[in-house]
Amino acid sequence: MTIHAPIPRPDRRPLTIRLATPRGFCAGVDRAIQIVERALEKYGAPVYVRHEIVHNRHVVERLKAMGAVFVRELDECPDDRPVVFSAHGVPKSVPAGARARDLFFLDATCPLVSKVHVEAERHHAAGRHIILIGHTGHPEVVGTMGQLPPGAISLVETVADAEAFQRPGDAALAYATQTTLSVDDTAEILAVLKRRFPELPDPHKEDICYATTNRQEAVKRLGEGCDLVLVVGSKNSSNSARLVEVAIRAGARDARLVDDAGHVDWNWFDGVSTVGVTAGASAPEPLIAALVDAIADRFDATVVEDAGERETVTFKLPRALTD
């Protein structure tokens, strides 16, 4: 969606709006949403979705209106309707339970999360104990830990956790990370682990996904020159919350997470001459455009789009939806 230039308002205070690039939907989120939409087109409503397909309230509400039914567990799903697993991934017990009931299911797990699952299984098969850097209770962490038997993975959330971690016996070690973490926070935790356990191998490829990394780099550039940074995203979106933290660290005087333009407190703009606008990987572009319009309605705004990484990654849909 194109962000249109605002109408000049010379009678109002001038304000520069800097738009981060990239921002908003990533390939994994786009794929997951398409899976639900295509399933509704092909099989009709209702289609059941285990947990929020992505962490964005507006996306979830729109899909509900189309006929998606969001549930917490499979026992809430009837036997005769399709079920979609969320983009965050699920423990192995979930598809096993679906197969036991002969449910038709579609797995919308982001391929980059699936890559972490495969790495965890590879390390486990090689006899290594896995340290997972991530946030307790996040669906992605629950899904990754659920790929292996209890006790095979130890969760580390902070530098203090990394200092306190104890190797189980004389086990060889490996590590993996949640894909939506702060790149800088993860580097600090990993530095401690590498100091304590120098033999820790590097992953074949970075676990933190390209989209998370690109959006954090973009918001660093905003933070360096903005008085205020607004991040469009829902509170339960890990990657969106990290963008707020990154903006503050980069030098922004203030940074806020907002669901949409209706959640902006205009007192935040007191003394602000430059505002940065970005969005988490699960936030739709129309919400960003609406926020820019709302700001432009109150100020004599000039919109500048920052130069940044242009993303061309796409992920294939399940064959059941493309045949």
Q: Look at residue 256 and tell me whether its pLDDT is greater than 80.
A: yes
Q: Name the residue ranges covered by the structural domains of the chain.
A: 14-25+210-305, 27-107, 111-207
Q: Look at residue 18 and tell me whether its pLDDT is greater than 70.
A: yes
Taking residues 34-50, what's their average pLDDT? 98
- Least confident span in 11-20, 98-107, 270-279: 11-20
Percent of the chain clearing pLDDT 70 (strictly above): 98
Q: Look at residue 285 and tell me whether its pLDDT is greater than 70.
A: yes
CA angle centred on 140, ends 79 and 38, rounded to 5°: 45
Q: Do domains 27-107 and 111-207 have the same CATH topology?
A: no
The model's pLDDT over 44-94, given as tens digits with 9 standing for 90+, comes to 999 999 999 999 999 999 999 999 999 999 999 999 999 999 999 999 999
6 — pLDDT class (breaks 50, 70, 90): confident
pLDDT score at 208: 81
Q: Look at residue 1 and tell me whether its pLDDT is greater than 60.
A: no
3 — pLDDT class (breaks 50, 70, 90): confident
Q: Look at residue 271 and tell me whether its pLDDT is greater than 70.
A: yes
CA distances from 203 to 125, 134, 286 (A): 15, 15, 36
pLDDT score at 205: 64
Instruction: Looking at the structure, give the CATH architecture of the domain made up of residues 27-107.
Output: 3-Layer(aba) Sandwich (3.40)
Residues 91 and 143: beta-carbon distance below 8 Å: yes
268 — pLDDT class (breaks 50, 70, 90): very high
CA distances from 73 to 34, 64, 98, 273 (A): 21, 17, 10, 48
Residues 71 and 77: beta-carbon distance below 8 Å: yes
**Closest CA relative to residue 35, chosen from 66, 78, 2:** 66
**Closest CA relative to residue 152, chosen from 193, 111, 185, 122:** 122
Instruction: Looking at the structure, give the CATH architecture of the domain made up of residues 14-25+210-305.
Output: 3-Layer(aba) Sandwich (3.40)
Q: Look at residue 243 and tell me whether its pLDDT is greater than 90.
A: yes
pLDDT score at 2: 60
Pairing of strands 172-177, 128-133: parallel
Average pLDDT value for the chain: 94
pLDDT score at 4: 66
Ranges of H-type helices in the chain: 27-43, 57-66, 93-100, 111-125, 139-145, 159-164, 183-196, 210-225, 238-250, 285-298, 319-322
Which active-site residues does the annotation give?
140
pLDDT score at 203: 63
The model's pLDDT over 189-202, given as tens digits with 9 standing for 90+, comes to 999 999 999 999 87
**111-207 sits in which CATH class?**
alpha beta
Q: Look at residue 158 and tell me whether its pLDDT is greater than 80.
A: yes
Q: Compute the chain's Rg from CA coordinates.
A: 21
| Distance separating alpha carbons of residues 159 and 149, to the nearest angstrom | 25
Q: Look at residue 105 and tell me whether its pLDDT is greater than 80.
A: yes
12 — pLDDT class (breaks 50, 70, 90): confident
